[in-house]
Copies of this chain bind each other. A is one copy, B any other.
Amino acid sequence: MPPSPRHRTCASAPVASDAVTHAALANSSFLAACRGEAQARTPVWFMRQAGRSLPEYRAIRAQHGFQDMITSPELTAEVTLQPVRRHGVDAAVFFSDIITPVQAIVAGVSVETGKGPVIAQPFRTAADVDRLRPLDAEHDIPYVIDAVQRCCAELDPLGIPLVGFAGAPFTLATYLVEGGKSKEFIHTKTMMYADPHAWHALLDRLADIAIATLRAQINAGASAVQLFDSWAGILSENEYRQHVLPASTRIFEELRALGVPMVHFGVGTGELLGAMADAGPDVMGVDWRVSLSAARQRVPAGIGLQGNLDPVIALAPWPVVEAATLATLAAGRATGPGYVFNLGHGVLPETDPTVLTRIVELVHAAGTS
């Protein structure tokens, strides 16, 4: 196992890396699971738990544009904290957009409702790579640092860790190269195949950006981070290892010294679990398509697993949800002490939030035996 993370107390200013562990956070079941330690009950949180499934989120969103939600620390902190208050989850995940750090340093990047990130001038050549200057977090995304501090000021005394959030280089590259969301990822793969030099230069810069934003979130108080390589699953393992793994590995290597647990996740990555685990996370997130027992065989011992209830199951009648939750929980526990209950992808907007609360209660009530 990697060295035990040291957890920092939040404060109104960035906290030095030698800050003391907050007493309540020391008892976090989520952080303990990430360290591979057995705990009294299985921790549970949900990817995209903050956001459109919650009426209290929609009430705020009705008054503010999406960009305001991202760049107003007060709003960001509020919607990050909403699911913790409502569901009693064991971790908060920082509310942000995967493109936020890039948007701060590249002109013509927006997030459009129903479309996601849109890049006015797609990145296709080596010359385009130079449009990505290094991220200076305090200057470029001060609202992220501020919002993390606000979150932690409320979360730390509760012993609830904040999970920092960033997009992995490959997934960020798909948005930049395609100009937005994609189905076949033709431009991305074409650049990867036809101009590997420019491709690797692009991923290197995106790795630097991910490092800078996650470092800033950790220094501001995040007790863990999750690196989302959402679309990595479109690649074969050979392609991933050759064209993506080096950049992702550098992120985990450089952040390792900060001492917080690191989770890695992408959808449809069943064939990549072993390769993504080689990048260096403490915990691998597992998509719902892969059984947790199969994931255990593909991910080396010592690396925990997180997942993997199908988000659509949360829309089913409660007996179906209950049976599937208990089956997932049993399968997860069988993989070892470093198991975190979660969905196999993000919460769907159509989800009834009371069902998520019942899932949390069910996981907690089930204990560890």
| Residues of A159-204 contacting chain B, CB below 8 A | 184-186, 189-190, 193-194
Residues in B whose Cβ lies below 8 Å from that of A186:
312, 315, 348, 350
Residues in B whose Cβ lies below 8 Å from that of A236:
288-291, 310
Chain A contact residue count (CB 8 A cutoff): 32
One complex includes copies of this chain to the number of 2
CB pair B348–A316 under 8 Å, yes or no, is no
CB pair B268–A194 under 8 Å, yes or no, is no
Name the contact of A289 in the complex, choosing from B268, B288, B294, B313 (C-beta under 8 A): B268
Residues in B whose Cβ lies below 8 Å from that of A239:
310
Query: Counting CB contacts under 8 A, is A317 at the interface?
Result: yes
Cα-based distance from A134 to B234 in the complex (angstroms):
38
CB pair A313–B184 under 8 Å, yes or no, is no
CB pair A316–B234 under 8 Å, yes or no, is no
Residue of B nearest to A320 (CB): B193
Query: Counting CB contacts under 8 A, is A235 at the interface?
Result: yes
Residues in B whose Cβ lies below 8 Å from that of A348:
184, 186
Query: Counting CB contacts under 8 A, is A233 at the interface?
Result: yes
CB pair B193–A316 under 8 Å, yes or no, is yes
CB pair A317–B350 under 8 Å, yes or no, is no
CB pair B317–A194 under 8 Å, yes or no, is yes
Residue of B nearest to A316 (CB): B193
- Contact code string A290-305 (vs B, CB < 8 Å = 1, else 0): 1100100000000000
28 contacts between A and B (CB under 8 A): A184-B311, A184-B348, A185-B312, A186-B312, A186-B315, A186-B348, A189-B310, A189-B312, A189-B315, A190-B316, A193-B313, A193-B316, A193-B317, A193-B320, A194-B316, A194-B320, A234-B289, A235-B289, A236-B289, A236-B291, A236-B310, A237-B291, A268-B268, A268-B289, A270-B270, A271-B289, A271-B290, A271-B291
Complex A-B, nearest 3 residue pairs according to Cβ-Cβ distance, in ascending order: A193-B316, A189-B312, A193-B320
With A186-B312, A190-B312, A236-B289 known, 19 other A-B pairs at CB within 8 A are A184-B348, A185-B312, A186-B348, A189-B310, A189-B313, A189-B316, A193-B313, A193-B317, A194-B316, A233-B289, A236-B288, A237-B291, A238-B291, A239-B310, A268-B268, A270-B271, A271-B289, A271-B290, A271-B291
